[in-house]
Amino acid sequence: MLRNKTIVLGVSGGIAAYKAAALCSKLVQAGAEVRVIMTESATRFIAPLTFQTLSRHDVIVDTFDEKDASVVSHIDLADRADLIVIVPATANIIGKMAHGLADDMLSTTLLAATAPVIVAPAMNVHMYAHPAVMANMQTLADRGVLFVEPGTGQLACGYVGKGRLEEPEQIVEAIRRFFSEQGQLSGKKVLVTAGGTVERIDPVRFLTNDSSGKMGYAIAETARDMGAEVTLIAGKATAPVPRGVKVVSIESAHDMMKAVLERLADADVVIKAAAVADYRPAEQARQKIKKKSEEMTLTLVKNPDILQTIGSMKTTQFVVGFAAETERIDEYAMDKLQRKNCDLLVANDVTQEGAGFGTDTNVVRIYDKNGLVQALPVMTKQGVARELLNLVAERIGRGEGAN
């Protein structure tokens, strides 16, 4: 899996830098070509000679120490990398990455890189939990950076808590898993719906919901990274628009239905993560409705059920539905899956801490026709997307999805 892969290993200045040497050794033994960049602070904890010996390549520390006049080192390394791994990742390098700072060889290379990045944080428990650090990590996660979360245990500072660098064996496994996921959806066309719909009352007022679009956007980005050709049908959302996917912007449930049905026959996978309004105003005023009395009655009519329509029309498509519930999750999820002819259904309790609209995390349960398949703990929406799409890819590989 790692043979002939070029991995740039960035080592920043923390006591856990010694574990990066073990990681370097294991990656080389697995067949990877490892190029090491160290920060100046990292050299205070472990000598560059260690990594030079293990990797059999020069270790770069100084931005201006250009050993090969035919290339610019940080651009050359950024271009040739199949993956960049930061171990250990201090609060400082995480902050630089989040804010686009480039004041040493490692941060400059990261800014020039287009390769995927895996970050393994290591720091004091209070530093890890600091709002600034958490915000920086979320910024990176939103950009598609992957994290190997630190473990909980005795830290070098004497505290016991979360912040200990994950063991090299586990980081190698995360790297193997990353490469194994690449290309799992190559050649597949994935259609994703995301965000909330807007149902107009008049030109300045509308009905909608709290959906941020983050879950659907994370699915679209992850499917793209797994090699799929992705079309994202996006309603109202606050999340940044994913790069590298085709985005179709819509407003109402009717708009979304039309956009989905126009593309359904061409899709291999349909993932309906959008929060579609169940009802719309029976009439939409052409002009702003003026205030006239103490009360106003608004008549609502039912919107078309997009997921049920997809389920009734699908031929070979693998269909995944979502259900946001507040009670009796298992019962309602299985009922929805069966009524709407889904292959998988992802349900969550939006009242649960860490789940629901607008959050950066989610807690979901995934079902198929036989019942619960997987219950995921609190994790980032990107993490949920990876788990879900790995399951989809595995089942498509077995020929599931056809009527």
Question: DSSP state, 243?
Answer: T
Token pair 């994703």 is found at 192
**Catalytic-residue membership of 157:** yes
Check whether 336 is labelled as a binding-site residue. Answer: yes
Long-range contacts of 332-341 (CB under 8 A, 24+ apart): 333/365, 333/367, 334/367, 334/371, 337/367, 337/368, 337/369, 338/369, 339/308, 340/305, 340/307, 340/308, 340/310, 340/311, 341/308, 341/311, 341/312, 341/314
Report d(CA 53, CA 282) in Å as an integer. 73
Choose among 349, 395, 400: nearest CA to 376.
349
DSSP classification of residue 24: H
Q: Among candidates 53, 114, 55, which has minimal Cα distance to 80?
A: 114
Tell me whether residue 22 is exposed, middle or buried, using C-beta atoms within 10 angstroms of its C-beta: 0 to 12, 13 to 18, 19 or more: middle
Q: How many Cα atoms are found within 13 Å in the side-chain-facing hemisphere of 297?
A: 1
Catalytic hit among 72, 134, 135, 157: 157
How far apart (Å, rounded) are the C-alpha atoms in residues 226 and 245? 12
Q: Does the annotation list 272 as a binding residue? A: no
DSSP 40-79: TTGGGTS-HHHHHHHHTSPPB--TT----TTS-HHHHHHH
Vertex 381: Cα angle to 246 and 393 (nearest 5): 65
As a whole number of angstroms, the distance between CA 74 and CA 37 comes to: 10
Contact 336, 323 (CB under 8 A): yes
Q: Is 19 annotated as a binding residue?
A: no
Q: Is 381 annotated as a binding residue?
A: no
CB count within 10 Å of CB 252 equals 21
Amino acid at the residue 223: A
Residue 48, preceding bond cis, omega within 30 degrees?
no
Residue 5 assigned as binding residue: no
Q: Where are any strands of DSSP class E within 242-378?
A: 246-249, 269-272, 279-281, 300-302, 318-325, 344-349, 361-362, 365-368, 371-375
* Active site members: 157
Annotated binding residues for CTP, written as ranges, equal 278, 288, 304-307, 322, 336, 340
Annotated binding residues, written as ranges, equal 278, 288, 304-307, 322, 336, 340
